[in-house]
Structure 1
Amino acid sequence: MRRILAAAVVASTLLLGTSAPAWADPPEPAASALPPGWSLDGADGQKQALTWTSDRLIPPGDAAVEFWSGDRLLGRAEGAADLRTFTLPQGRSGPLSDLQVRVGGKRVDAAAPKQPQRRAATAPSAGPAQPANPVDPGVKGPYATTTGEYTLPGVHLSDYPVPVEMQAVVVAPTNAPGRRPLALFLHGRHWTCFTGNDLDSISLAWPCATGSQPVPSYRGYLQAQQLLASQGYVTVSISANGINAYDNGDDDYGAQARSSLVRMHLAHWADWAGSGRRNAPAIVRKAPRADLSKVFLMGHSRGGEGVSRAALDSLTPPPAAQDDYHGRVRWTIRGLLLIGPTIFGQNPHPEVPSATILPGCDGDVSDLQGQLFIDASRGIGAGRALHSALYVIGANHNYFNTEWTPGQAIGPATDDFGSEEPDPLCTPGFAPTRLTPQQEQTVGATYIATAARLFVGGDDRARPLLDGSGVRARSAGPARVLTHAIGARRTPVIIPSQDLTVRNAKLCDQVADQPEKACLVNNSWVGGSPHFVAFAGPEPERVAVALTGGATATLRPATAMPVTGSKALALRLIVPPNAPATSFAVTVTDGRGRRTSLGSTTVTGVPGTELTTSYWAQEVRLPLPRSLRTIAGLEITPQGSGPAWLIDAWGWQPGSPAPRPAALDRVDVGGLTVDEGDAGSTTYSVPVVSHGRLKAKVRLFLSDPVTGDIRSWVAAVKPGASRVPVPIPVVGNTTYGGDQRYPLAAKAISNAVVGDYIGGLHVREDDPVPTVTVAPATAAEGSPLTWTLHLSAPADSYLYLLLAPQAPATGPELSSTDVDPEWFQNNSGEDPEPSRPLSGTGLQPFVEIEPGTTSVEFAVPTVADGVAEGAEHVRFQVLLYPPDFSDPIPAAIADGTLTD
């Protein structure tokens, strides 16, 4: 866990923006106005920096709060204690135009577009009921249960200022024979403390202040724990408030910290299952001994990414210097169930089976990035582990946890899905498709038990509920859950890549830097496809096939693909949300050129509005003839008029082979800090550590600190190699340009997993900041007061000047009504009336200084009032901000005098 490159590094993740403009012939710099809510003040107790203050409370959630300038990501902001103020301590240099705040892909700042036009004028239908699966894992088991809690001494995690609590609630079966499998639950990021019943009383502090109570998020899954315990599982749900309070300072948003916490709890359970049982907490001694060879993990939100990282770290230990757990691995993780998870690193372990719930009305992790637990596992390992996605229509993010649910939580709680107008799919009481809290929690419990029964219990009768077979669990009630999967006994037929020959269709980029190459151009602030969530730039490996209605697309892989033993051809297909039933005719050609029609299948659009992420692939299957041995070509003809996309196609047969986790190589990205130097070029290598015995590949993404351009390449990891070379030349000079940060991100392509996925090079500026000089200005009423600010030397990067009014040294002060009212309002966010001295207002004009510029004018337009008042004065403290918006420097005093 590292904080070495702060916001500039985490900005590289999910970074896909246009580069900054070229700087040839720059325009004349001019005074600028920040939009309403924006300032360079800094939050309470924080240093001055680019700051946005919301007019409403922004409850802490799992998605990142990002500052953007148009399509350019400036960085990820840190929240203040008031839960309204967000500050970018460091970020990318460039012009501050079209400032925006986005959370989970949605704009939340005052300038965000109002309610967009929805895709559906009427309420979308959830669709017809699915047939019931014969086996229902949501049915209570034969065992009575017992419940209790334990609290152990807190643990110290690197870079965390206070110990993290070791607290948990245990629900276990009674009178269950032998050792029992262990299920561990980890909640996500939520506020940590409260004092009253409304949201104004919440905080993200830890430990909680005197008079406030901790939010018991770990108690939010008792229904699922009781269900699993009745079926014979020992269950433990652990608390992570101490991580939630500080994880936004981690470059991976707490994934490594949560992994360490999970493994520390598992280490205790390993002790308690053996000779340490006599010292175990009372509730543990009342429970059956846990079988640590059968461990199941459930994670919600950032807890989902945390338990996934714990599985990865258990199979391939992290570098010791980057980990807080240093004990032996005495457990085997059999599978994961993830609810609305984040996956900022897009780094799942492909050999650990998983099922991921995607809430259709998720208002927190609204881009449904958890889809990448499935898609980013494809082609990395052996492909034996099942990876399933479950799209739950009408479910929000919070209500899977009772302590995040109004009416059930002991403290304040809220519905994370919000819209200014009633949404026909997701607004409670208005949309018939929206699930009640009880229905949502029952869905969660049912599918948690389903994943446990398949992954841990090995009961293949539960598989159809997860693998795209189109059946439902009776105990999940009226909820409609759509599923698709990869892995298990599937064999690849069409995996879109640059090697695929395509006719009458086109390969499109899931993550594109040019709209004409993109699979889906989404002009809304929300919506889109969870399959196309960006990581750190375009990825040539991530392509799909864009189909056109009425046209027969012909797809030919580089070699004929074996399908011996496959019972069906399974396709993952996307049609637009709410699209009517669309028929797809499918024909295959074998290795000898013989064509066989498989018939047709139908796909209906996932219910969606402009506020949901509903371009989601559904799995359909067509029977394959027994005699078919290979598929050398695939023809698909969409019968409708609209677009469609093929994500992939597989030979499918039933069954769940036991995963055999391969010893995949592990890659971790480190960080390096160096001084710039005054001359010459020095090449430094970012420490990218690898260990393993396979030939592996990872894609590396390196961001230019000046232009923001991202260069990516595929790096080969040689067997037994300890380093992946990433050379970066640094040219020294004697010109100030601020610290330069080269964020480096890594993503697995084959035979590897990536642990610490963010790092890079930090080049410290060793040249002095240019000084600023300015002469006093004088003007008559009605004329602008104009100053020319001079820099002692040009800079290599953007600099920013903030002019903060102060009381003048002598004479009466210029007032808010002495200056142009529109200019005052634009630069202060306040009304000029009543008249008051400028030093008592929120006035904050600022000036951008482009690279190479040594002087800039700043003007205050004044108004003539026709009253003889004598000379009036104004004084500005000029603060100079470095290119990354870090600590400002008091640079000069600008005095002005206005005469009658």
Structure 2
Amino acid sequence: MTERKTVRVTGRFTRYLSLGLVAVLGAGLMTAPGAAAAPASVAQGDKWDIRPVAGGYQVSLNLDAPAPMRASAPLLVVDGVPVGVAKQSRDRRSLSLVTTDSAVRNAKSVQLVWSGDLGKLEQKAAARALAGGTTDAYWNKARQGALLKDDPGKLGMYQVETSEYNLGDEAVYLPGIGQKSEVVGKVYAPVGATGKRPLVVFLHGRHEYCYGDATEAGDKPWPCPKGAKPIPSYRGYDAPAKALASHGYQVVSISSNAINAYDGDVYDLGAQARGELVLDHLALWKKWSTAGGGPFGNKFIGKLDLKNVGLMGHSRGGEGVARAAVINSDRGGEFGIRAVLPLAPVDFARSTVPGVAMSVLLPYCDGDVSDLQGQKFYDDTRNSVTGDGAARSTVTVLGANHNFFNTEWTPGQSVAPSGDDWGGEPKATCGDRTVGRLKAKEQQAVGTAYLAGFFRLHLGNEKQFLPLFDGSDTRAASAGKAVVRVVSQAPLASRRDVNALDKALPKGAVSGKVTATVCAGVKPLTASKAAATPACLLTDGWGDSPHWEPAALAGRTPSLAVTKLAWTAKTGVVRLNLPAKQRDVRKYAALSFRAAPGALGTLTTDLSVRVVDGRGKAAAVPVSSVSDALTRLPGNLQLGLPKNLLRTVRIPLSSLKGIDLRDVRTVELRTDRVASGTAFVSDLAFSSAGLGTSAPATLLPKLSASDVKVKEGDKGTKLVDMYVRLSRPSPRPVTVYAETTPSFESTAVGDVAKTLVFKPGQTKLKVSVPITGNTRDSADAKFSLVLSAPKEALLDHSFGQGLVLDDDPTPTLTVGNLTTVEKSADVKIPVKLSAPSDRYVTISGSVQDGTAVLGKDFRGQNDPPDRSIEGYFEPGKTAGELLVGIVDDKVKEPTETFTAVLKAVDGADIKLPATVTVTITDND
């Protein structure tokens, strides 16, 4: 893990996450100091370079060592300002992108920073206020709930037998990466368990895939080259796997090293491929548990219940298992995937996982996915489908980092080199010398408790574990000192929503000196121009705002809308009235909502909740008496913390003394506790803990974006139609967001971001993408139309692939002989193009002695002299640069010659090798 860095972020950051995947353009154009071969730079430094290209500027960075394998997306930062998501070369030693931001012309520095590490604010008043205080002391001794009687982290009655299968490093083809993957897994089986058993599949995330000293280089990143070994990341979850297996569950942990080797340059960063790999393993287990065969013969026949399947995915594996659940539903629900647990996940494309029980585990000290973007799985799914009966939750573990849930990613436990991903100051909030930071084994114990408890609850119907996931702060003894906070959306059958607080309140609902404003996102906004919702936070560092950070591949999809309360006196009241048919709440156990402090500089604030019945009887409860949701989370903003996370305020109805629960008329949020303050509130509901119903959402219509291939054309801008289709008409309106990722091979593709609403009966909507043509040769332009955050539907083909074919002829290169007078200077060999190009055209070759000799009469382009020469044409130019140096001496001598042999040309046509003669006439 590299040293953690923070950067100053300004308004130029507003589009970085909507850039999507960008092409590595000319990584080989970087040249040695003193070389005259590369196209002219507008800014350059040690190992970085910025140069003009058609339509913008190419920013390139070379690294001394391969960039670490991280789950987050890599960004290039120019003078402390992120300018875009970069694409890495296969060896991860160079990164490149193209930006239209002309400010980069004056660059002083270029750095690699990861998308999850952008937590630092500009030095505004809010940030200065934080310097005066911190809540670390509180969270180091935070209130803890009651201990659960049955500890899910303890081993059960069954002995556990482990075995492994390995069908080869390239045993299955994954269309999602266009490559072959290994099929390798570790099996944990309960010895003596009879009958069919629920199956849980674990999928690790993005990590180094090979280790050791290779004795020879391979021609591709996977399989590992000779002398190196695959890193066994799939073996890193022994503790939760054995905890589950010892209670009668079958567990398989699978390897995804090939995906890690190839996912850096695929359209979705590997989510589809990871989902495909999970389903490929399930298909094998369907065969092995019915017909037998394979590596296990008849051993598992009749042992697995493939209608009762759970998936855990860590890091990028979290988005992978979410995608697997949706693909499975799209394909008719062949496997009964009923429970999904994304662990420290990425969420690059804002997918939803309706119908399936889900719990997202968020490690607060995550140093890789440190923006905790997986929070959006919960936010986007919770109300995405009418009648969804599944339960879902988020589990935030303070003091936990990204890596240590996997022992193969943990120093002292792994066979390959590993590290602490936090990487910050050891005495900082998440540093390894602080009270609140969990040791590796402590963190693994927490992971074991919640992973095992979740799957035993939803696959095994073991209801004793409901209190771990209902927001009541009940804890498992094996989780030790860990401070855990759970947000829960109870299943529909156990919940009555009062108000999601995501829309403007009715007239008259607000009184006194308080305002209630619906907000979403952060300022500066990255949503579409039509977005009129005010920002929730004034911050340029989205890393501290998991609910509102733009996603890497869906940066303009609107984020969670909540209500922001701001008050200047103790007189403020927000009154929410219950309709007549919803006033009897006796069947529910609690009134709950999500809340967080609204002002970044505020350590703590408070509200009271007042419930009034039909007789006018009222009971009021201070939020601070039941929850620390309005206490700022620990840390210092300058280190990427604290996070602005909504947390649970849960008021047991039994505590509302004197209230007639058959006739509750209003719920009030009152500002009578603190004279002034701000707070975010969301999702007010009555609820009880419940399992709900969970199954593949096969009845939902499916959304797919079409692919398109079109010729660029010679002039003007034309609209190319892509279509988003619904698999069948829906009785309810279906909403989905669609946006293009720009292409940096060419400037031909325009920018589109829009909300699509399918009215009942509609099955096809058009998205028109502007394509600008010209007569210059350029690369074919690839782009995607990304679908995200659907409502009342599933995502199927959620990335429509666009290809703009360049239809202009490749220019012809001509080169002529040169006659020059002896002088100490660089001279140009005449090279011309038949027509301007949108590409950089590069030339390489060597010089050969004639009567003139290298070093004595002429020199090459590099120091010390060598025979290589290189040249180039800038985009749009027909005259190029191919330089050689002439040596001046004081000796009278006859006319001399040498030759230049052109051996390679990229971007133009010429018959090779091409030889030209340089003639030097004496001037003495």
**Structure 1 residue 78, shift from structure 2 partner:** 2.8
Equivalent position amino acid for 2:753 in 1? S
Describe how 1:383-402 pairs up with structure 2 within 5 A.
383-402=388-407
Q: 1:265-314 CA deviation, whole Å, 9 max, x = no partner?
A: 2223223333x14x364497179711222211111112111111111112
Classify 1:746/1:558 alpha carbon distance in 2 versus 1 (closer, same or farther; 3 Å): farther
| Residue aligned with 1:246, SS | helix
Select 2:463's aligned residue among 431, 442, 460: 460
Provide the residue aligned with 1:582 in structure 2: 605
CA distance in 2, matches of 1:409, 1:532: 33
Select 1:690's aligned residue among 697, 721, 726: 726
**Structure 1 residue 854, shift from structure 2 partner:** 5.8
Q: 1:793-815 CA deviation, whole Å, 9 max, x = no partner?
A: 677x7x65889997698979899
Equivalent position amino acid for 1:167 in 2? V
Matched, 1:233 2:262: no
Provide the residue aligned with 1:130 in structure 2: 144
Select 1:547's aligned residue among 561, 565, 588: 565
Q: 1:635-686 CA deviation, whole Å, 9 max, x = no partner?
A: 5567376653334433333333223665222112242111123367754322
**Structure 1 residue 514, shift from structure 2 partner:** 3.9
Classify 1:778/1:122 alpha carbon distance in 2 versus 1 (closer, same or farther; 3 Å): farther
Rg larger in structure: 2
Describe how 1:213-232 pairs up with structure 2 within 5 A.
213-232=229-248
User: What's the C-alpha RMSD, in Å, of the aligned pairs?
Assistant: 5.2
Provide the residue aligned with 1:408 in structure 2: 413
Q: 1:180-201 CA deviation, whole Å, 9 max, x = no partner?
A: 21111111122222226x9x99
CA distance in 1, matches of 2:900, 2:679: 62
Provide the residue aligned with 2:184 in structure 1: 167
**Do 1:152 and 1:167's aligned partners in 2 also have CA atoms closer than 8 Å?**
yes
Classify 1:257/1:737 alpha carbon distance in 2 versus 1 (closer, same or farther; 3 Å): closer
Equivalent position amino acid for 2:519 in 1? C
Matched, 1:504 2:512: no
**Structure 1 residue 704, shift from structure 2 partner:** 6.2
Provide the residue aligned with 1:176 in structure 2: 193
CA distance in 1, matches of 2:42, 2:865: 21
Indicate the larger mover: 631-640 or 228-237: 631-640
Provide the residue aligned with 1:305 in structure 2: 319
**Structure 1 residue 239, shift from structure 2 partner:** 1.6
Indicate the larger mover: 295-304 or 630-639: 630-639
Q: 1:396-448 CA deviation, whole Å, 9 max, x = no partner?
A: 111111111121112222222213x43412222x2222211111111111110
CA distance in 2, matches of 1:591, 1:714: 42
**Structure 1 residue 537, shift from structure 2 partner:** 3.6
CA distance in 1, matches of 2:200, 2:15: 34
CA distance in 1, matches of 2:762, 2:505: 32
Indicate the larger mover: 368-377 or 356-365: 356-365
Matched, 1:350 2:388: no
**Structure 1 residue 868, shift from structure 2 partner:** 8.4
**Do 2:583 and 2:663's aligned partners in 1 also have CA atoms closer than 8 Å?**
yes
Provide the residue aligned with 1:646 in structure 2: 681
Unmatched runs of 5 consecutive residues or more in structure 1: 1-10, 20-28, 42-48, 109-115, 318-327, 825-831, 883-888
Select 1:58's aligned residue among 52, 64, 67: 67
Select 1:495's aligned residue among 463, 485, 500: 500
Equivalent position amino acid for 1:316 in 2? D
Matched, 1:573 2:608: no
CA distance in 2, matches of 1:283, 1:681: 62
**Structure 1 residue 332, shift from structure 2 partner:** 1.0
Equivalent position amino acid for 1:416 in 2? D
Classify 1:206/1:681 alpha carbon distance in 2 versus 1 (closer, same or farther; 3 Å): closer
**Do 1:466 and 1:483's aligned partners in 2 also have CA atoms closer than 8 Å?**
yes
**Structure 1 residue 548, shift from structure 2 partner:** 3.4
CA distance in 1, matches of 2:436, 2:846: 57
**Do 2:345 and 2:373's aligned partners in 1 also have CA atoms closer than 8 Å?**
yes
CA distance in 1, matches of 2:917, 2:752: 43
Matched residue pairs, number?
Answer: 820
Matched, 1:363 2:367: yes
Provide the residue aligned with 1:294 in structure 2: 308
CA distance in 2, matches of 1:85, 1:621: 50
| Residue aligned with 1:434, SS | coil
CA distance in 2, matches of 1:612, 1:35: 28
Provide the residue aligned with 2:221 in structure 1: 205
Provide the residue aligned with 1:242 in structure 2: 258
Identity percentage of aligned residues? 31
Classify 1:783/1:836 alpha carbon distance in 2 versus 1 (closer, same or farther; 3 Å): closer
CA distance in 2, matches of 1:74, 1:804: 31
Q: 1:33-92 CA deviation, whole Å, 9 max, x = no partner?
A: 334323599xxxxxxx964222344222222224466867555413433x433455xx56
Classify 1:568/1:855 alpha carbon distance in 2 versus 1 (closer, same or farther; 3 Å): same
Q: 1:350-400 CA deviation, whole Å, 9 max, x = no partner?
A: 211111111122122222111111011132113432221111112111111
Matched, 1:426 2:430: yes
Equivalent position amino acid for 1:396 in 2? N
Matched, 1:716 2:762: no
CA distance in 1, matches of 2:322, 2:191: 30
Unmatched runs of 5 consecutive residues or more in structure 2: 1-13, 23-38, 52-57, 120-126, 527-532, 654-658
**Do 2:490 and 2:690's aligned partners in 1 also have CA atoms closer than 8 Å?**
no
Equivalent position amino acid for 1:448 in 2? L
CA distance in 2, matches of 1:262, 1:280: 18
**Do 1:560 and 1:591's aligned partners in 2 also have CA atoms closer than 8 Å?**
no
**Do 1:195 and 1:202's aligned partners in 2 also have CA atoms closer than 8 Å?**
no
Provide the residue aligned with 1:435 in structure 2: 438
Q: 1:801-841 CA deviation, whole Å, 9 max, x = no partner?
A: 889997698979899xx99xxxx9xxxxxxx9xx7459889
Provide the residue aligned with 1:666 in structure 2: 702
CA distance in 2, matches of 1:424, 1:467: 31
CA distance in 2, matches of 1:704, 1:558: 47
**Structure 1 residue 225, shift from structure 2 partner:** 0.9
Provide the residue aligned with 1:726 in structure 2: 767
Equivalent position amino acid for 1:124 in 2? D
CA distance in 2, matches of 1:746, 1:891: 50
CA distance in 2, matches of 1:174, 1:466: 29
Equivalent position amino acid for 2:648 in 1? E
Provide the residue aligned with 2:740 in structure 1: 702
**Do 2:177 and 2:270's aligned partners in 1 also have CA atoms closer than 8 Å?**
no
Classify 1:686/1:631 alpha carbon distance in 2 versus 1 (closer, same or farther; 3 Å): farther
**Do 1:123 and 1:424's aligned partners in 2 also have CA atoms closer than 8 Å?**
no
**Do 1:181 and 1:234's aligned partners in 2 also have CA atoms closer than 8 Å?**
yes
Equivalent position amino acid for 1:32 in 2? V
TM-score (norm 2): 0.75
**Structure 1 residue 241, shift from structure 2 partner:** 1.8
**Do 1:101 and 1:107's aligned partners in 2 also have CA atoms closer than 8 Å?**
no
**Structure 1 residue 255, shift from structure 2 partner:** 1.9
Q: 1:755-778 CA deviation, whole Å, 9 max, x = no partner?
A: 333224322221246779999999
Classify 1:471/1:788 alpha carbon distance in 2 versus 1 (closer, same or farther; 3 Å): farther
**Do 1:787 and 1:857's aligned partners in 2 also have CA atoms closer than 8 Å?**
no
CA distance in 1, matches of 2:758, 2:790: 11
CA distance in 2, matches of 1:212, 1:191: 12
CA distance in 2, matches of 1:211, 1:476: 40
Classify 1:669/1:121 alpha carbon distance in 2 versus 1 (closer, same or farther; 3 Å): same
CA distance in 2, matches of 1:585, 1:106: 35
Matched, 1:104 2:108: no
**Structure 1 residue 106, shift from structure 2 partner:** 3.1
Indicate the larger mover: 685-694 or 402-411: 685-694
CA distance in 2, matches of 1:814, 1:496: 78
**Structure 1 residue 452, shift from structure 2 partner:** 1.0
